[in-house]
Amino acid sequence: MTRCRICSGDVQKFLDLGEQPLSDAFRPADEIASFTYHLQMGRCLTCGAVQQLAEVPREQMFHADYPYFSSGSSRMREHFRRTAEHLMAEYCGHDGAVVVEIGCNDGVMLEHVARAGLAHLGFEPSASVAEVARSRGVRVTTEFFDADSARAHLGSLGAADVVYAANTMCHLPYLDSVLAGVEEILAPQGVLVFEDPYLGDVIAKTSFDQIYDEHFYLFSAQSVSGLACQHGFELVDVERLPVHGGEVRYTLARAGARPVRPAVRAMLDAEAASGLGDPATYVAFAARVTAVRDDLLATLTRLRDEGREVVGYGATAKSATVLNLAGIGPDLIDRVYDSTPAKQGRLTPGSGIPVVAADDFASTTADVAVLFAWNHAEEIKTNEAAFEQGGGQWLEYVPEVRLVGGR
Ligand code: SAH
Ligand code: TYD
Ligand code: ZN
């Protein structure tokens, strides 16, 4: 059996999503990305941490060509502006406050901290996005955050009042080194705040596309509580967030430094009651994943046979898992619309579907658009209301396959 990356316990495999490419490796048509890995998920029988069975080297995923820009969604920009206000109001009321972010990407959160004049530092190894953060006035180092890099900055930065990470902690298999780094730079009363896709939502919605190379862990209050304990921290607060299909924001403090909010006990109890600790839950989840895969493939095949023009919307990292698991390529989905310039003119990883500019969707001839960016459904459907008004239909696959809208 594989050993848990958090506690060394036995990891029980429950899902095999097959051979997969790197989810963010969008390549020009004349270039073939050859790297693949076997995507499998398991659950630790000791600490409950849901994790991949093998690790993709971090330099393969995060580099100068990394094409995910956090500011691509107006709703997420608003979310991170409010997050910055919240972190500063809650933890930075004193002179000389310091904020550190792990995975600051294009500065979507830290730009507000920089603008408020607070001392800060973003760790962001992907130079493509780090450069944009810098242009927004954010102080960034392109080192991977871990125990060594954290220690190297302590002298110039001072102890951190907040270490924050969004959609990044779950990307880091080497959490022992990351937590050791946080332990070194955090002020005595400081907090580590991080938010990631929530295991409970992934199970409830069968959103298996949240599983791909970069998402090594699917956290729960149970697993994060165990992780905290191992490193002398304590889980002091949890909050569910309505972004990216359902996330939880975890707040950790040094053990005993801050009161534990009742929400922590409530979430732990709710997780136990909903069967998140029961192996049968994961067996049933895996069966639903297969059903969704088969249903999606059958629906796309039927639409093609009926002569309908099908496209995709949102060249997400998530879509790589769906497309490659189901063996869906350009024969079933003609092209994918996306607003990211770095993805346009390239092919979706593994599946080889051309990515085109989202601006062109206004004049699309498509009958059906598969909503790969389903986590941004509200924003996209509002912006593209003309598609449905003109008779177009959205094809969704979370939590189940269904055609929405149109005539
Ligand atoms: N916080 C942003 C970005 C999430 S994407 C948001 O929520 O939208 C994850 C980011 O983490 C990427 O930009 C990637 O380059 C970065 N990353 C990966 N490993 C890292 C590490 N060890 N330290 C800091 N950043 C890391
Ligand atoms: P997202 O779902 O945030 O993440 P991931 O790639 O990790 O699965 O990705 C959203 C993608 O959809 C991104 O490539 C930008 C694109 N997008 C649009 O094309 N139009 C939009 O209105 C929005 C919100 C996103
Ligand atoms: Zn474990």
- Ligand closest to 45 (CA) is 3
Rounded to whole angstroms, the Cα distance separating 51 from 284 reads: 17
* Alpha-carbon distances, residue 23 vs 11, 60, 292, 341 (angstroms): 24, 11, 20, 17
User: Would the CB of 4 count as within 6 Å of ligand 2?
Assistant: no
What's the gap in Å between 124 CA and the centre of ligand 1?
6
Give the atom of ligand 1 at the shortest distance from the alpha carbon of 146: 22
What's the gap in Å between 140 CA and the centre of ligand 2?
24
The residues, ordered by sequence, that sit 6+ positions from 269 with a Cβ below 8 Å of its Cβ are none
| Torsion sign (Cα): 138, 141, 143, 146 | negative
pLDDT of residue 407: 57
Q: How many helices (H) and strands (E) does the chain have?
A: 13, 18
191 beta partners: 162, 253
Structure tokens at 283: 């067996």
Q: How many CB atoms lie within 10 A of CB 404?
A: 13
What's the gap in Å between 287 CA and the centre of ligand 1?
31
pLDDT of residue 293: 98
SS3 61: helix
Rounded to whole angstroms, the Cα distance separating 340 from 243 reads: 19
H or E stretch covering 10? strand 10-21
pLDDT of residue 219: 98
SS3 180: helix
User: Would the CB of 317 count as within 6 Å of ligand 2?
Assistant: yes
pLDDT of residue 363: 97
The residues, ordered by sequence, that sit 6+ positions from 206 with a Cβ below 8 Å of its Cβ are 285, 288, 289, 292, 398, 399, 400
With a threshold of 0.95, does the pTM exceed it?
yes
* Alpha-carbon distances, residue 76 vs 82, 133, 244, 375, 376 (angstroms): 10, 16, 9, 11, 9
User: Would the CB of 67 count as within 6 Å of ligand 2?
Assistant: no
Rounded to whole angstroms, the Cα distance separating 347 from 227 reads: 38
What's the gap in Å between 62 CA and the centre of ligand 1?
8
Sheet holding 186-197, edge to edge: 140-141, 119-123, 98-102, 160-166, 186-197, 247-254, 233-241
- What does each of the 407 residues of the chain score in pLDDT, given as a tens digit? 899 999 999 999 999 999 999 999 999 998 877 899 999 999 999 999 999 999 999 999 999 999 999 999 999 999 999 999 999 999 999 999 999 999 999 999 999 999 999 999 999 999 999 999 999 999 999 999 999 999 999 999 999 999 999 999 999 999 999 999 999 999 999 999 999 999 999 999 999 999 999 999 999 999 999 999 999 999 999 999 999 999 999 999 999 999 999 999 999 999 999 999 999 999 999 999 999 999 999 999 999 999 999 999 999 999 999 999 999 999 999 999 999 999 999 999 999 999 999 999 999 999 999 999 999 999 999 999 999 999 999 999 999 999 998 75
Judged on CB neighbours under 10 Å (0-12, 13-18, 19+), 129 is: buried
Give the atom of ligand 2 at the shortest distance from the alpha carbon of 376: 24
Rounded to whole angstroms, the Cα distance separating 319 from 263 reads: 33
- Ligand closest to 71 (CA) is 1
pLDDT of residue 342: 98
Ligand 2: which residue has its CA nearest to atom 9?
316
Q: Torsion over CA of 123, 112, 252 and 61, rounded to 10 degrees?
A: -30
Rounded to whole angstroms, the Cα distance separating 50 from 59 reads: 23
Q: How far is CA 108 from the centre of its chain?
A: 15
What's the gap in Å between 221 CA and the centre of ligand 3?
13
pLDDT of residue 34: 83
Structure tokens at 394: 């959205």
Ligand 1: which residue has its CA nearest to atom 26?
103
Write the single-letter amino acid at 83. T
What's the gap in Å between 290 CA and the centre of ligand 3?
26
The closest of 292, 291, 311, 293 to 303, measured between CA atoms, is: 311
